[in-house]
Amino acid sequence: MTLGTPQPRIDGPVKVSGAAAYASDVKIPNLAFGVLLCSTIVKGRIAAIDTSAASAQPGVLEIITHQTCPPLLRPTKPIPSQGQSLVPLQGPDICYYGQHVGVVVAESFEAACAAADLVKITYTPANAPTQFAMTKSAKAAGGARDLVWGDRTVSPTKAAFTVDQQYSTPYQHHNPIEPPATTAIWNGDTLTLHDSTQWLAGVRMLVAALLGIAPANIRVISPFVGGSFGAKRVVWPHVYLAALAAKTVGRPVRLAVTRTQMYTTAGYRPQTVQRITLGARRDGTLQSLQHTATTTTSEFDNFIEPAGAKTGMMYACPNGRSSRTLAKVDLGTPTTMRAPGESTGFFALECAMDELAYAVKLDPLKLRLLNYAVVDPTTKLPWSSKSLKECYAKGAAQFGWAKRKATPGSMRDGPLLIGMGMASAAYPANRSPASASVSLFADGHAVVQSATHEMGGGTYTAMAAIAANALGIDIRQVQAQLGDSTLPETTVSGGSRTINSVGPAVEAAALQVIDRLVALAIADPASPLYQAEAGQVVAAGASLRLKSKPSCADPIAKILSRHNLPSVQMSASTAPSAGASKYSQYAFGAHFAEVRVDPDLGEVRVARYVGAFAAGQIINALTARSQLVGGIVGGIGMALLEESVVDPNIGTFITRNLADYRVPVHADIPPIEVILVPEQDSVTSPLGTKGVGELGIVGAAAAIANAVFHATGKRLRDLPITPEKLLAPDASQTRATRRRRSARG
């Protein structure tokens, strides 16, 4: 088993046959069903709750409201896995539309829904102004610290060429195909939660703190997650309300959030309004750069979408500043979504670079090569590895970038305008401490165990591949057990860190198994390897072998049986190396998009797409490609379709199903070619990986927006790029830019 070779998913058969049990699929005897009641006002108080008609319905077990809910604990310090600080059902006050105001528990989901419709809640709305979008009057809250590098007095507006523009992105929702769901089972004082989560330990941590039970008394099980994109990274109130409901009725309770409730239950991406000011010399060399972002958050939490936080690392611009501020709106708390900060920030940066390319009359790819950063300009640290030039070269060659005509609107396909756009991508190579164990059995099979997560990315297959490679056995001989908090603890599966964090722990445990077997063999007169030097023995083909003479081999099964061992099991905990902080660690990539635009209808179709990415060692070329294609599909959605619309008269998102919230479907997706540029990274992880979970979406929306400009000459700076915006008479002056009349580009 060699790392990097394409491997079909080992969990594919259970998934496609429906045998894989997700959080709301597990069969539990005596199960009751909870349904959330959600507020239908934005701000105010609950005046009265009448549950009489609902309680009289057949099958209703309990209706929990703030009048009956036991108090939940208030943790003295913030808990990192808490999605929102507002704990519902603790009083009559309402802070946003959709705030949970009750849980109806019944014998069936249908009975719970029917009863929920009969609960009469009377509200006293607050006589206070509400705000749902970023406006000049949005109340500013604290922001993240500014990032300043080089000379802050060098103003981009004094340069020979300046691009000074505003870019904006709308509210967006994750919309995983599996909405959040929790099944809670109490057994005396111990609690088992089947939960759809990216962070088993985070669920345990928060539920323990709010319910006042020992973390050791909580087991969280999550073997499969049906997509997440950041929505299940932190823990939302329905999780602990499910546990509370199960305690109240003395039966297991399943609480599955509905698609519509998902829009107000598990976070969303906040709005961003970003201003980028680039200053360049006549030839296009960047001299200074400013990137400021304002993003929305809830009244009660300061969630920062870190748009622009990574702007300074991208190009060799000696001077710059980036800063972020928050604007408070009357919605629930937003959260991380699909490369939070990078996907929004690179939309602005990579469009601004495209605008600069036209201003200085340089090919957009040449402009990026001219400003190629050989060290991280913000920290002056060297890169752990960077093969972006290869990404540009291979992507451009595959795409046929050289055939692009420079003038916007100059390429046609019959009545349709052709546009070609490109953008750079970068995503940090994150790594956290993690643990795993590996067992090798006498019959030749192995078991990998780790409390990490499979949310569609291919974690089962990747961990099995890493173990098989280290043990010198076939991947089909490896079973992976994941998604259970009783297994060795790992980290949140967020920030594209799973392979960098858990991969090394699996490899270390597997290598320890081999070390143990080598020690047994070289001390055993019955072994052909007796008295060999440990360093001269390697594992290959289910045997230990002499490096210098591979035919001198001792089968692993024989070593175990000679020592009467049914198996050898080893556990390992790994963490980033101390020296890693001396490097700037990123995966990089380049996007090339071709669009067709109908000038009469304003319809944009992505016709062709090439992405070239360098993310260190690839563990499984098949699933890595799928991850990157998924990121690009997310980028196409971000560019052309996705937008959560708030109706201020109602006070919530009115796009709250998959008909109104538009995500790309197969017919929207062109052939996507992904090039995996070979690379090794010796800093981030001993496996050489950097992660591919979010890299594919970073820059994708900009490549498409740049292609739309190339096709039409219209610069749309406010996502999504819709036909009505493209056909607007002032299409280059979108909603975002109109507010800043002084903008020039």
Q: Which sequence positions are flagged as catalytic?
A: 694
Site string for ligand MOS, 489-508 (x = CB under 6 A): -----xx-------------
Nearer to ligand MOS, 377 or 483 (CB): 483
CB of 303 to ligand MOS, least distance (A): 12
Residue 154 CB partners (closer than 8 Å, separation 6+): 279, 287, 288, 318, 319
Q: What are phi and psi of 421, to 5 degrees?
A: -135, 155
Name the minimum Å distance from CB 625 to ligand MOS. 19
CB of 488 to ligand MOS, least distance (A): 21
Taking CB under 6 A as the criterion, which residues in 508-547 touch ligand MOS? Answer: none
Q: Please, which of residues 357-386 interact with ligand MOS by CB under 6 A? A: none
Segment near ligand MOS (CB under 6 A); pick from 80-88, 142-150, 306-314, 330-338: 330-338
Give the shortest CB-198-to-ligand MOS separation in angstroms. 6
Cβ distance 431 to 500 under 8 Å? Answer: yes
* C-beta of 156 vs 457, nearer to ligand MOS: 457
Instruction: Provide, rounded to whole angstroms, the least separation between the CB of residue 483 and ligand MOS.
Output: 16
Interacting positions 213-242 with ligand MOS (CB under 6 A)? 229-230, 233
Instruction: Pick out residues in 337-356 that bind ligand MOS (CB under 6 A).
Output: 337-338, 340
Residue 709 near residue 354 (C-beta atoms within 8 A)? yes
Q: How far is the CB of 63 from ligand MOS (least distance, A)?
A: 34
Q: How far is the CB of 494 from ligand MOS (least distance, A)?
A: 3
> In this structure, are residues 409 and 417 in contact, taking their beta carbons and an 8 Å threshold?
yes
* Residue found under tokens 């600080």: 85
Q: Whole-angstrom Cα distance, residue 183 to residue 212?
A: 19
- Give the x/- contact pattern for ligand MOS in 189-208, rule: CB under 6 A: ---------x----------
Q: Which tokens sit at 545?
A: 């072998």
Q: Give the number of residues in contact with ligand MOS, rule: CB under 6 A.
A: 10
The one-letter amino acid at 198:
Q
Q: Which is nearer to ligand MOS, 218 or 697 (CB)?
A: 697
Strand partners, 272: 169, 295
Is the CB of 311 or the CB of 344 nearer to ligand MOS? Answer: 344
Smaller CB separation from ligand MOS, 340 or 637? 340
Comparing CB distances to ligand MOS, the nearer of 174 and 717 is 174
Chain residues 641-660 in contact with ligand MOS, contact rule CB under 6 A: none
Residue 310 in contact with ligand MOS, rule: CB under 6 A: no
Q: Which stretch binds ligand MOS (CB under 6 A): 2-10, 49-57, 336-344, 600-608?
A: 336-344
Kindly tell me the burial class for residue 459, based on how many C-beta atoms sit within 10 Å of its own C-beta (0-12, 13-18, 19 or more). buried
* Phi, psi at 520, each rounded to 5°: -65, -45
Q: Exposed (0-12), middle (13-18) or buried (19+): which is 79, by Cβ within 10 Å?
A: middle
Q: Which residues pair with 187 in a beta bridge?
A: 190
Query: How many other β-carbons are positioned within 10 Å of the β-carbon of residue 135?
Result: 11
Instruction: Report the residue number, 115 or 499, with the smaller CB distance to ligand MOS.
Output: 499
Q: How far is the CB of 17 from ligand MOS (least distance, A)?
A: 28
H or E element that contains 416: strand 416-428
- By CB under 6 A, tell whether 336 contacts ligand MOS: yes
What gap in Å lies between CA 312 and CA 346, rounded to an integer? 11
- Distance between CA 421 and CA 271 in Å, rounded? 24
DSSP per-residue codes, 418-479: EEEEEEEEEEE-----EEEEEEEETTS-EEEEES---SSS-HHHHHHHHHHHHHTS-GGGEE
- Nearest approach in angstroms of CB 350 to ligand MOS is 19
640 contacts: CB under 8 Å, gap ≥ 6? 604, 606, 664, 668, 704, 720, 721, 722
> Residue 413 to residues 268, 597, 640, 711: CA-CA distances in angstroms?
38, 10, 21, 11
HSE toward the beta carbon, residue 436, CA cutoff 13 A: 37
Q: Which is nearer to ligand MOS, 81 or 584 (CB)?
A: 81
Specify the pairing of strand 120-125 against strand 44-50.
Answer: antiparallel
- Residue placing its CB nearer to ligand MOS in the complex, 164 or 694: 694
Structure tokens at 277: 């000011």
Q: Which residues bind ligand MOS (CB under 6 A)?
A: 198, 229-230, 233, 336-338, 340, 494-495
